[in-house]
Chains A and B, each alone.
Chain A
């Protein structure tokens, strides 16, 4: 079973920021938080990962709570191509249902 919980779905408007939450209250101190996304009819692709500090890359930002029990993936300006299922997972790579992000033009 996945050890993370995410909302089933979220909607965003194009060009607006999106905050995708994830709860991982039982995470251990050495467990990384990974985010992947799966575009329609494709395999999952890596988005970002982090341990304790907030992280930024060209795709997104990852904000990690100080107690590490939750994190938020931030897409700064959603595009139609960002419509996908976003998965928050731990080192055990057990995927849950993820969050289906719909981006409206």
Chain B
């Protein structure tokens, strides 16, 4: 069974549309994350949720809204898509997020978003 899964794997859409990417983890982890990897391959953290509460919110346009219905899911909703949103989006989860401790992250396979 896949530990961290994302749907869809590919998403092609027009500028201005609203789309969602879903993420589920079956590892029993408390913390989930969204990352964006742009065309230059830089991987940047966007959000982190711990027990359904937002704990990391990087400088991300408010068109991006994460939603965590439960600990196992962290969905990413994007409004008014722009060309610059084209990237690969990775979901990840970890057991926890405690200062001074490691938290091995398990990443999903990624969702390649193309905005035309």
Contacts and interface: CB of A to CB of B under 8 A. Distances in A.
A44 interface: yes
A46 B22 CA distance: 22
How many B residues are at the interface, by size bracket? 20 to 34
Nearest to B58: A94
Contact of A42 (B99, B101, B102, B109): B109
The B interface is mostly helix, strand or loop, or mixed, namely loop
The A interface is mostly helix, strand or loop, or mixed, namely loop
Interface residues of A, number: 22
Interface of B: 4, 33, 35, 40-45, 90, 92, 99-110
10 contacts: A32-B100, A38-B43, A43-B4, A43-B108, A46-B104, A87-B43, A93-B33, A95-B45, A96-B42, A98-B41
